[in-house]
Amino acid sequence: MSMYIKITENSFEAWFLNYFQQEAINRMAAYGVDVCGELTYYTNTSKLFERFRDEIWQLATKYSESCLGESLMTELAADHTTSSPAMLATDLVKAAAAYLSFSHQSQEKSEDDEGNQATRPS
């Protein structure tokens, strides 16, 4: 994978599943989306957010409701009232990716993953 992403898919979920291999999805579910650096670059997250804005909002909301109650959306609104749109886009893309990583992770876990799982949506 390169630092800059290419988007040819028609949905964020399709892009996510085509772009990341299963091992990377499992790592994101276990340790957080920052383990896959492509989602830390504002250029990438802004591009994804511009293309899939509605879907990313929906997935980020699902992640927020299933994992954190409403706190994520409340926090994002408060944190980003004076910050850049790119920072907000990055946080929303990461929340959407977290939701998808939990939804699509392999049920097989390595010994290293046992006991180190991130909070999952229910």
pLDDT tens sequence for the chain (122 residues): 456 788 999 999 999 999 999 999 999 999 999 888 788 888 999 999 999 999 999 999 888 887 766 666 666 666 655 567 888 889 899 999 999 999 999 865 544 444 444 444 54
Q: How many domains does the chain have?
A: 1
Question: Within a domain: residue 85?
Answer: yes
> Residue 26: which domain range?
19-104
Residue 7 counted as domain residue: no
The DSSP code for 20 is S
Q: Does residue 112 sit within a domain?
A: no
Evaluate whether residue 95 is within a structural domain. yes
pTM of the predicted model, to two decimals?
Answer: 0.77
Tokens 């504002």, located at residue: 42
Where helices occur in 1-122 by DSSP H, the ranges are 12-19, 22-31, 42-67, 71-79, 85-104
CA distance 23 to 88: 27
